[in-house]
Chains A and B, each alone.
Chain A
Amino acid sequence: MIRFVLSRGIRAALIFVVASVAVCYGLRVAPGSLADIVTNPLNRAFAVKDLEERLGLDEPVIVQYFVFVRNIMGGDFGVSFISNRSVTEIIATGGLNTLKLGGAAAILTYFISVPLGIMAAARRNSVIDQGSMLIAVLGMAIPNFFLAILLVRLFAVELRWLPAAGQGGIKHLILPAVVLAAEAIAINLRLVRASVLEQLSRDYIRTLRAKGASERRVVWIHAFRNALPPVITFGGVMLRTLLGYTLVVEVIFRYPGLGFELVDSVLKRDYAVAQALALVFIAGVVLFNFLADLGHHLAEPRIRERGAAG
């Protein structure tokens, strides 16, 4: 177990170093420049030159990278050149918002897809099964920005039950969380169903039935328990995907989370913010992968065994 955590930790650190180089370099050599934010051609030249000097962008990229690393090591993520807010503060407030949204989406995903997926598997070809497969197909087929527009029209504009955008209480979370979760629900629903179905065809299920275990126990405890590893492993992938989708969903719903801030900072070439947020996102991805591995590790006794032995 310790070895497992340690080896993954080292791997994560390596990924992180590579990512920091990629992010720092990528942002600067990517096509485009500060000039892009100055869309008015009349005042381009001045503004760009001035900004570049102030931000040290006239230095070579290598120098900029080491300045960046030195600052990060010192816990200094810098300051947004647009808002002058410290990047740490942006990460903290945006992070909390994204955590709320992502958490809501994750809860929604599992609370819908797991029970529905199990029911669909347990009653194959029933109305529940067909209904949930329809949900799955729709969830995968409808692009999330389109779903967002549909839901906003229906629930915000027509019915006026929910706000169309912005940040506030639970009400503000519902639509973005649903949109964020839609695809994850769809994928997870299929996954849970397929995984439970696969388990239901296993020999041990017959044994359970042969000893008189109730169908509910067979499906909801045994089949589900064994169907978990792929679901958990996918959970990491899913959280990672959710993280990626926050970029779209937060912008559409004007929800001030990390995704919103990242999109905004990249568009404005707010390097300090963009770099730090990109790293936060990478950290998120690395962390979710690690959690998925760990979950898989703990969910599957055989793997746990091997991990402990070797």
Chain B
Amino acid sequence: MTQTEESELRDTIEQYRNARLTRRDFVQRAAVLGISASVAASILAACGGGGGGGGTTTGEEGQPVQGGVLRMGYDRAFQKLDNVVGPWADEPFTAIYEVPIIRDPGGKFVSSVAEAWEFSSDGLTLSMKIREGLKFHSGAPLTAANVAEDFNIFRTTGVTANFWAPVKNVEEGENNSVVLTLSKTNYGLIETISTLFQSIHNEASRKAAGEGWGATTVDATGPFTLKTFKPASEVVVERWPDYPGSGVPFVTNKGPAYLDSIRWVPILEPANRANEIETGSVDIVKSPAAQDISRLQSNDDLVVLELQELSNYFITIDRTRGALGQPGVAQAMSHAIDRQALVDTVFFGHAVPTYGPIFPAYRWYDPGVEAYNEYDPDKARDLLKSAGLSELRFTLLTQNQPIQVQVLEAVGGMLREVGITMEVKAVEDAAFFPDMFAGKPDAFMFKWLWESPTDNMRFFGRVPSWDYNGNPPKSMAGIDAWESAATEEQLEKACRQVQLAWAEELPFIPLVTQSLVWVHHKRVHNFRPTQTSIYPLFNDVWIEA
């Protein structure tokens, strides 16, 4: 961001605060200033403004105090905190682990364990310089050799090993660096390297811990160490007094963490989350029930932060099935859907419509997508007519979860308006996934949730075993471009290309992106979730005694 950009932005922020611009207005105005929606969103988060409500500010003022226990209500049951083969990365990951590279609030890749990185001019070699003087919780020093060892584990046995496919070789380089050799240009590898499943750990400790890794033992580099792991009831981490300090530029506390410990408890029932923060049995909760949000916003003791979740609800139709494959059918469906109405009714306003494959807060979001899929039932009818269809009928498979079912009820009604009959079959996950992966249904709805939105397009856009989507040419060309981008500029270009192509061809039909809502008590300070990571960092967080 340049100096001028920053000052103009400041003004807009002022306006937002004083004149109470709505969030949407703010983001739009910021976009006019050439500021990406993600930056705007993270600023909004910092302002503590959520969806035009609350308007309270996170107390940045005041001197941080050392000590205290932060009690976090988590919206899921915990899985093992295993960075290599763990099935899910839960919140404590960002307290006990550090990733090599991290996205800043604006989405830019910045240093963490790696202090610098560079692609060779041909784009086939990536060297990463590892910070000096780092060590693991166990006291063992951390060098480039450890990182190289970890990378080799990640690309062979890690859960995201398939994204490492372009990497031919990883070895320790000179000067505390790691050198990755690629078989083809793939700047997007940075996306992968900055996800939580590439968190750096001490492989020797992991080997020794065996099954206990992530449960009884974690030996990594984050500012907290694992104390208790009782996944059904609590996960507790404690300050690591010997933490050498964060290498992340947007973390201001360069020493050990302020908090003595953080205790997570799972609050699985959405209706209970608001209750628990209101009664003070936790200091922070995530994802309260939508109907509770406005009540929480009007509570003077609480701060409600609202971000766009790194997710998207979408519908995919199988274009190999008769009428569903007619040109224009997906577009007709898309035009028939009033996304804003979905946002207002199903999500109580705590969501945004998505007209392209990525949510608007993404740094490379291209607003051009919005022109493609506007709500226009007449156009939908015309499209169906020119496809030679007087009526269209299909069955859609979905997970049997309340939100999913509600979204589809609304969508079903909208489609009926233009003469499309969608029968919804809601099943348990156990039945959903096998059928979906086997390509059994005419259509399905799913919500992806992942730090790298483009990965989802790569995954859901073309999985060879599915005959879905008919490989729409422009979209697939965009993905090819993404996968072979050699520089960040090329990556951004590919990203915009793929978004526009996607919005036009609709390999899947995007619907809405839900808000990610965090609520914290005012005595918690510097709690700053960003729009670009799924979890916040905890080193700056402090709590009033």
Chains A and B directly touch (beta carbon < 8 Å):
yes
Interface residues of A (CB under 8 A from B): 30-33, 35-44, 46-47, 50-51, 54, 79-85, 145, 149, 152-153, 156-157, 160, 163-167, 251-252, 254, 256, 260-261, 264-265, 267-268
Across the interface, B197 reaches (CB within 8 A) one of A36, A43, A251, A256, namely A43
Q: Given A40-B449, A51-B87, A85-B230, list of 16 further CB < 8 A pairs?
A: A39-B88, A39-B429, A43-B159, A43-B197, A46-B160, A47-B85, A82-B79, A82-B231, A153-B275, A160-B279, A251-B268, A254-B268, A254-B272, A256-B233, A264-B232, A268-B231
Q: Which of chain B's residues 84-107 have a Cβ closer than 8 Å to chain A?
A: 85-88
Do residues B233 and A167 form an inter-chain contact, with CB atoms below 8 A? yes
Assuming the contacts A35-B433, A42-B450, A46-B85, asked whether A164 and B272 have C-beta atoms less than 8 A apart, the reply is yes
Residue of B nearest to A162 (CB): B279
Residue of A nearest to B230 (CB): A83
**A149: chain B residues within 8 A (beta carbon):** 271-272, 275
Do residues B161 and A46 form an inter-chain contact, with CB atoms below 8 A? yes
Assuming the contacts A32-B428, A50-B157, asked whether A164 and B229 have C-beta atoms less than 8 A apart, the reply is no
Do residues B267 and A254 form an inter-chain contact, with CB atoms below 8 A? yes
Assuming the contacts A40-B88, A46-B85, A157-B278, asked whether A254 and B265 have C-beta atoms less than 8 A apart, the reply is yes
Residue of A nearest to B235 (CB): A83
Main secondary structure of the interface of B (DSSP, over half): mixed
B403 at the interface (CB under 8 A from A): no
**A156: chain B residues within 8 A (beta carbon):** 275, 278-279
Closest 8 A-B residue pairs measured CB to CB?
A32-B430, A256-B233, A43-B159, A84-B215, A264-B232, A31-B430, A38-B87, A164-B279
CA distance A41 to B450 in the complex (A): 10
Interface residues of B (CB under 8 A from A): 77-80, 85-88, 157-162, 197, 211-212, 215-216, 229-234, 265-269, 271-272, 275-276, 278-279, 281, 428-431, 433-434, 437, 446, 448-450, 455-456, 459
Assuming the contacts A31-B431, A47-B85, A264-B232, asked whether A165 and B272 have C-beta atoms less than 8 A apart, the reply is yes
Between-chain CB contacts (< 8 Å), 21 pairs: A31-B430, A39-B88, A42-B159, A42-B456, A43-B160, A51-B87, A80-B231, A82-B78, A82-B79, A83-B80, A84-B229, A149-B272, A152-B275, A156-B279, A157-B279, A165-B272, A251-B268, A252-B272, A254-B233, A254-B266, A254-B276
**B448: chain A residues within 8 A (beta carbon):** 41
Do residues B449 and A260 form an inter-chain contact, with CB atoms below 8 A? no
In the complex, what's the smallest C-beta–C-beta distance from B208 to chain A, in angstroms?
A: 13
CA distance A144 to B211 in the complex (A): 38
Do residues A42 and B455 form an inter-chain contact, with CB atoms below 8 A? yes
Across the interface, A252 reaches (CB within 8 A) one of B232, B269, B431, B450, namely B269
Across the interface, A260 reaches (CB within 8 A) one of B79, B80, B87, B233, namely B233
Do residues B211 and A54 form an inter-chain contact, with CB atoms below 8 A? yes
CA distance A70 to B269 in the complex (A): 38
**A79: chain B residues within 8 A (beta carbon):** 211
Do residues B272 and A166 form an inter-chain contact, with CB atoms below 8 A? no
Do residues A251 and B269 form an inter-chain contact, with CB atoms below 8 A? yes
Assuming the contacts A83-B229, A152-B272, A251-B269, asked whether A46 and B158 have C-beta atoms less than 8 A apart, the reply is yes
Across the interface, B159 reaches (CB within 8 A) one of A30, A37, A46, A252, namely A46
**B87: chain A residues within 8 A (beta carbon):** 37-38, 40, 43, 47, 51
**A160: chain B residues within 8 A (beta carbon):** 279
CA distance A157 to B268 in the complex (A): 18
**B269: chain A residues within 8 A (beta carbon):** 145, 251-252
**B160: chain A residues within 8 A (beta carbon):** 42-43, 46
**B455: chain A residues within 8 A (beta carbon):** 42
CA distance A235 to B80 in the complex (A): 40
Residue of A nearest to B85 (CB): A50
Assuming the contacts A165-B276, A166-B265, A267-B77, asked whether A33 and B430 have C-beta atoms less than 8 A apart, the reply is yes
CA distance A83 to B80 in the complex (A): 6
Assuming the contacts A50-B157, A54-B211, A152-B275, asked whether A165 and B281 have C-beta atoms less than 8 A apart, the reply is yes
CA distance A152 to B353 in the complex (A): 34
CA distance A254 to B76 in the complex (A): 12
Do residues A261 and B232 form an inter-chain contact, with CB atoms below 8 A? yes
CA distance A167 to B197 in the complex (A): 32
Across the interface, B232 reaches (CB within 8 A) one of A39, A152, A260, namely A260
**B281: chain A residues within 8 A (beta carbon):** 163-166
